[in-house]
Structure formats: structure tokens, C-alpha cells
Homo-oligomer: A and B are copies of this chain.
Amino acid sequence: MPHRKSIPKPAARRLSLYLRELASRLEQGEATVSSKSLGRTLGLTDAQVRKDLALFGQFGHPGRGYGISDLVDSLRKIMGRDRDWRVCVVGAGNIGRALVSYDRFRREGFDIVAVFDANPAMAGKDAGGLKIRPMTELAKVVADERINLGIIAVPRDGAQQVADALVAAGVHGILNFAPRRIEVREGIGIVSVDFTVALEQLAFQVAFGHDGSDLGDASASHPPDAEAPTHG
């Protein structure tokens, strides 16, 4: 079921932080949490937390707070974390291999089931327990393994091409680590992470004396699309 109503973009980012913190509190055996306590830990106001959570329904109990276990379940469902995500990594360089070995992905329900590399000499070698495959097998493996998300960990110049191949193969979303904007057709999800941009944001904070509460580091998608009536 596609979107219900419109979620403020910044709120979407915070939902992940709520979930991360709530899961951690659940592990520690806490049963309930107030918007104030959650907000304090994450650097947000209590009102902000309540508004965000209220976007999806009424999860709280006046006077008592939110039941952590229930809230985690609800958030997981809302964020699509109740389904199984099957992921492939394209690019078996330093970053690609580090991601394949990043245990937290599996623990959180993102199963990396294939790694590809354009260099035929890499084919057959091991990366974090998976056999590296040649790009020629991408379409077949994505279909056979029912892969729905792709991670791009190749150098800048190959990235758009890889994205096109992933979309053609049938993935529904792409996490891009290459330092450029990736264009995908409507309906395909895209999130980008650029390490250099992240470090640069940090340098900016330091150089500028910025207090910056909540700077993001990198990302892109279907932009609101710079359409201008330039003509008339």
C-alpha cells in the first residue's frame, strides 16, 4: 500500500532515530517512555517527538507515556522494517567489502545476499563470506535471489550506469556511496551517502563556528524537479 498522506521530510529522518533509541531502551528492559525523555536523549523537544509520532496514529497513553514495545512494533511496520529486505552490493572495493561484512545490517533485517564487481579478475574471490560475481550475472541474480535493494560502492564514473542496471534488474531502491547524484525513475527510492561531503560538513561546522543541531550529510532522489515556465 503506497503512501497514506504526506510526511514532513525531516520527520522521516527522525523516525529512524526514534526506532534506534527505542530498540536500545527495549533491550535494557525499559517498558515505557515519555516524549520528553525520548526527546532529551535525541536532542529534540518533547512537542516535536509527539507531533512526529502522532503523524501515524495514537500510540501514547496520557499520563503514562508510550509503551516501548508497541511503539517499536508500530514504527517497524510504518518504516517497512517488518518485511524482508534482500540486498546486493555492487563494487567489491574497500567500501563494498566493509559493507558486506557489516554485521549490523543482517541483525537489523537487511540481508546482503550478493556482491558484484566489474573487474572480472575479482570474480570468484571471497568478500565477507560471499563469492564475488561478475556484473554479467547481475540481472539474473537479482531476479533469482529476489533482491529488492542495491548498494552502489563503485567509483563515481561508473555509478549512474550501475544504478541503471540495478533498476533494470528490478530493485526498488538504491543506497549510493559514489560521490555524485544518481538519477532514477519515479517510484525508485534513492538515498546517497558521501563520506567526503560528511567530512566537509564537519569542516564547515568547525571553520564556521556553526552550532548546527542536525546537519545531514548527503542524499538525493527524485528532486521536486526544477521546472520553470521560462518560456511563456
Q: Which A residues fall within an 8 A CB radius of B?
A: 1-3, 7, 9, 12-13, 15-17, 19-21, 24, 36, 39-46, 78-81, 83, 85, 87, 94-95, 97-99, 101-102, 104-105, 108, 110, 148-149, 172-175, 179-181, 186-187, 189-191, 193-226, 228
A199 to chain B, nearest CB (A): 5
Do residues B80 and A195 form an inter-chain contact, with CB atoms below 8 A?
A: no
Asked if B218 contacts A202 (CB within 8 A), the reply is no
Q: Which residues of chain B have C-beta atoms less than 8 A from A186's C-beta?
A: 211
Cβ of A215: which chain B residues have Cβ within 8 Å of it?
9, 12-13, 191, 216, 219, 221
Flag if A199 contacts B36 (CB, 8 Å): no
- In Å, the complex CA distance between A149 and B200 comes to 11
User: Given A99-B195, A148-B206, A189-B202, are A219 and B216 also a contact pair (CB < 8 Å)?
Assistant: yes
Q: Copy number of this protein in the oligomer?
A: 2
Indicate if the CB atoms of B44 and A226 lie closer than 8 Å: yes
Cβ-defined contact, A203 with B46, below 8 A: no
Question: Given the interface contacts A80-B208, A105-B195, A226-B36, does A202 sit within 8 Å of B190 by beta carbon?
Answer: yes
| Cα–Cα distance between A16 and B222 once the two chains are bound (Å) | 19
Q: Which residues of B contact A190 (CB under 8 A)?
A: 202, 205
Residues of B within 8 A of A203 (CB): 79-81, 85, 110, 149, 173, 189
Residues of B within 8 A of A83 (CB): 207
